[in-house]
């Protein structure tokens, strides 16, 4: 299966998917030291995001993610990539600043199409996500 | 993106390495969103607490300053990560304080004005209708777009720094007329009174609208909200839904031309919805700490708080956080003294959730936090707190009794 996004940034990556129909905010949702989702009500609460391609619904919350992705990348405690149905400027700015791969904007609900744990290949130049 | 002569000079390094790096960043963001060109901005506002920056972010700001970077438009700051006069109250470590000091020094080197406020529209300079700005802090952006009719996207710290250094921002999102039109019509059947209920209304709307590109059109409120009501409603809407603009029929400047009245009513919100959101933050009665913050308190909010503090003696810590512009007035008018006479603390230039909230909890043993800020309860769950939402009056009572009465 191949899906095409409207927006893309970053380098090509391949890795395992962590999928939920929920939002993403580095400040609101994450324990950035432990590398886990920490907001109790988040659908991925308690799970590690490190090295995973996060497939989520939309960007949530505040502006801190723009700095935090850069800081998380400096410690290597960061998702491999972000894939979102819709993105706000903060995550785009954060991805640009932190050199994080990101795709956003699909014709379908991408969280309903990607099986949890599947291996994904992301090619930002082509704006594509492939389920291997 | 189409670049003018100045922008080409920046990209070519003719205006220094900081401007070059800043514009390169802005081009990446602009191309991501398909921006055709840049729009000049009159001011920039930087969210840059050091919990968010971390050491790598601080080094980046220092490198810009060391490279001779200077902002080209008035550029101000969101709250810092500490109140330097109250670090012992917060339990902030020397490492935190030192990182903050380095950041302040680096920003000053860039020519940034250290206003340290998330209520700049109340205390520094509210933007005018149609004025293009580059504001950080979601609460500032939604107020500027909705209440002032100014034009800004969410500008995260690095992008706001870049906008200050270049004097422009990519023209996409809320700089475009089309993005400012209403997308979702919501009928309100109940008008809040207290600030926590205004915040809860914002939270409910934010959840329904759900993403940055949605522009709710609200109708049915009695009267026009004041600035503090708009502040709490907007901050919560942005926090719960990543919303950057709303229209309120009969109140906000672009509501009449937004097309909202022609949309079908998609949702109705009544008092039961406000109560349901509040009930989600009512886990028991015991309280470790009471916090008024997020957004920083206006002079009027501090005045109300002082009146509630008169004649009380607190058994639990009570923190009230305001801006460095409001604090001297509160001091001069005796408002600070009245709050502190009851055992409270008035802090300045920070905001609770932007000031190492996890480290504060660990240092002080605080877990169960009562507040009237809907934005704050939405954020603090991720930091390990049990946030409790109530009116300012009930929160003050809780600071006295140690329990939040139901």
Inform me whether the C-beta atom of residue B61 falls under 8 Å from chain A C-beta atoms: no
pLDDT at B290 over 80: yes
pLDDT at B383 over 90: no
Question: Where residue B144 falls among pLDDT bands split at 50, 70, 90?
Answer: very high
Average pLDDT over residues B310-318: 98
pLDDT for residue B111: 98
Average pLDDT over residues B40-67: 96
pLDDT for residue A28: 83
Chain B residue numbers with beta carbons less than 8 Å from the beta carbon of A105 are none
pLDDT for residue B43: 98
pLDDT for residue A60: 80
Average pLDDT over residues B121-132: 98
pLDDT at B353 over 80: yes
Q: Chain B: nearest CA to A26, how far in angstroms? A: 9
Chain A residue numbers with beta carbons less than 8 Å from the beta carbon of B51 are 64
Average pLDDT over residues A71-98: 95
pLDDT at B42 over 90: yes
Chain A residue numbers with beta carbons less than 8 Å from the beta carbon of B33 are 7, 89, 92
Taking the domains of chain A in order of start, what are their residue ranges? 2-131
> Which residue in chain B is spatially nearest to A102 when comparing CA positions?
B32
Q: Which chain A residues in 109-128 lie under 8 Å from chain B, judged by CB atoms?
A: none
Inform me whether the C-beta atom of residue A9 falls under 8 Å from chain B C-beta atoms: yes
pLDDT for residue B284: 82
Chain A residue numbers with beta carbons less than 8 Å from the beta carbon of B56 are 70-71, 74
Contact A8 B32 (CB under 8 A): yes
Contact B382 A29 (CB under 8 A): yes
Contact B190, B269 (CB under 8 A): yes
Q: What angle do CA B194, B198, B204 make, to 5 degrees?
A: 140
Contact B28 A29 (CB under 8 A): no
pLDDT for residue B369: 98
pLDDT for residue B132: 98
pLDDT for residue A59: 86
pLDDT for residue B381: 86
Inform me whether the C-beta atom of residue B381 falls under 8 Å from chain A C-beta atoms: yes
Smallest Cβ–Cβ distance between B154 and the set A8, A31, A63 belongs to A63
Question: Where residue B77 falls among pLDDT bands split at 50, 70, 90?
Answer: very high
pLDDT for residue A61: 67
pLDDT for residue B406: 74
Q: What percent of chain A has pLDDT over 90?
A: 88
ipTM of the complex: 0.91
Q: Chain B: nearest CA to A116, how far in angstroms? A: 23
Mean pLDDT of chain A: 94
pLDDT at B112 over 80: yes
> Which residue in chain A is spatially nearest to B239 when comparing CA positions?
A61
pLDDT for residue B405: 84
Average pLDDT over residues A82-95: 94
pLDDT for residue B245: 98
Residue B381 CB neighbour total at 10 angstroms: 19
Q: Chain A: nearest CA to B52, how far in angstroms? A: 5
pLDDT for residue A92: 94
Contact B156 A66 (CB under 8 A): yes
Inform me whether the C-beta atom of residue B16 falls under 8 Å from chain A C-beta atoms: no
pLDDT at B84 over 80: yes
Inform me whether the C-beta atom of residue B32 falls under 8 Å from chain A C-beta atoms: yes
Smallest Cβ–Cβ distance between A38 and the set B52, B354, B382 belongs to B382
pLDDT for residue B170: 98
CA distance B238 to B215: 11
Q: What angle do CA A10, A15, A19 make, to 5 degrees?
A: 95
* Structural domains in chain B plus CATH codes: 5-177 (3.30.499.10), 181-278 (no CATH), 281-401 (3.30.499.10)
Inform me whether the C-beta atom of residue A93 falls under 8 Å from chain B C-beta atoms: yes
Mean pLDDT of chain B: 97
Q: Chain A: nearest CA to B395, how far in angstroms? A: 23
Chain B residue numbers with beta carbons less than 8 Å from the beta carbon of A61 are 138, 239, 242, 378-379
Contact B136 A64 (CB under 8 A): no
Chain B residue numbers with beta carbons less than 8 Å from the beta carbon of A64 are 47, 49, 51-52, 156-157, 354
Tens digits of residue pLDDT in B154-189: 999 999 999 999 999 999 999 999 999 999 999 999
Contact B156 A38 (CB under 8 A): no
Fold of the domain spanning A2-131: Glucose Oxidase; domain 1 (3.50.30)
pTM of the predicted structure, to 2 decimals: 0.95
Tens digits of residue pLDDT in B238-288: 999 999 999 999 999 999 999 999 999 999 999 999 999 999 999 888 999
Average pLDDT over residues A61-86: 92
């Amino acid at each position: 299966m191949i899906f095409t996004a409207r927006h893309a940034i970053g380098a090509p990556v391949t890795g395992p998917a962590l999928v939920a129909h929920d939002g993403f905010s580095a400040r609101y949702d994450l324990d950035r030291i432990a590398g886990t989702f920490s907001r109790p009500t988040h659908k991925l609460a308690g799970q590690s995001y490190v090295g995973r391609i996060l497939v989520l619904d939309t960007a949530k919350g505040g502006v801190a993610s723009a700095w935090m992705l850069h800081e998380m990348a400096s410690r290597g405690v960061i998702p491999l990539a972000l894939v979102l149905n819709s993105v706000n400027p903060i995550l785009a700015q954060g991805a640009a600043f932190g050199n994080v791969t990101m795709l956003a904007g699909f014709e379908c609900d991408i969280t309903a199409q990607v099986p949890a744990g599947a291996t994904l290949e992301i090619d930002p130049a082509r704006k594509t996500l492939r389920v291997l | 993106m189409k670049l003018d002569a100045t922008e080409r000079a920046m990209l070519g390094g003719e205006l220094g390495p900081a401007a070059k790096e800043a514009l390169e960043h802005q081009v990446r963001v602009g191309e991501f969103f398909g921006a055709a060109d840049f729009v000049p901005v009159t001011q920039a506002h930087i969210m840059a607490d050091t919990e968010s920056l971390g050491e790598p972010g601080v080094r980046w700001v220092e490198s810009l300053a060391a490279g001779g970077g200077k902002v080209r438009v008035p550029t101000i700051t969101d709250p810092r990560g500490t109140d330097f006069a109250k670090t012992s109250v917060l339990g902030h470590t020397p490492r935190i304080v030192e990182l903050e000091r380095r950041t302040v020094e680096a920003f000053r080197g860039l020519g940034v004005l250290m206003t340290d406020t998330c209520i700049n529209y109340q205390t520094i300079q509210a933007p005018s209708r149609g004025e293009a700005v580059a504001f950080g802090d979601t609460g500032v952006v939604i107020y500027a777009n909705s209440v002032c009719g100014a034009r800004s996207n969410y500008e995260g710290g690095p992008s706001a720094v870049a906008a200050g250094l270049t004097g422009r921002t990519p023209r996409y999102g809320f700089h475009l007329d089309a993005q400012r039109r209403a997308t979702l019509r919501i009928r309100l059947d109940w008008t809040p009174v207290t600030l926590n209920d205004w915040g809860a209304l914002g939270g409910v709307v934010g959840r329904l609208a759900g993403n940055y590109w949605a522009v709710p059109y609200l109708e049915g409120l009695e009267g026009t909200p004041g600035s503090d009501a708009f502040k709490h409603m907007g901050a919560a809407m942005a926090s719960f839904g990543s919303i950057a603009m709303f229209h309120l029929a009969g109140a906000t400047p672009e509501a009449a031309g937004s097309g909202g009245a022609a949309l079908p009513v998609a949702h109705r919100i009544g008092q039961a919805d406000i109560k349901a959101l509040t009930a989600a933050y009512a886990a028991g009665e015991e309280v470790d700490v009471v916090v008024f913050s997020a957004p920083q308190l206006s002079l009027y909010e501090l005045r109300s708080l002082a009146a509630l503090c008169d004649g009380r003696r607190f058994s639990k810590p009570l923190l009230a956080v305001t801006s460095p512009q409001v604090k001297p007035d509160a001091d001069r008018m005796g408002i600070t003294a009245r709050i502190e006479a009851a055992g409270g603390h008035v802090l300045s230039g920070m905001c609770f959730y932007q000031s190492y909230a996890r480290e504060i909890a660990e240092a002080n043993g605080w877990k169960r936090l009562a507040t009237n800020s809907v934005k704050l309860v939405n954020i603090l769950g991720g930091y390990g707190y049990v946030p409790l939402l109530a009116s300012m009056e009930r929160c003050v009572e809780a600071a006295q009794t140690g329990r939040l009465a139901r």
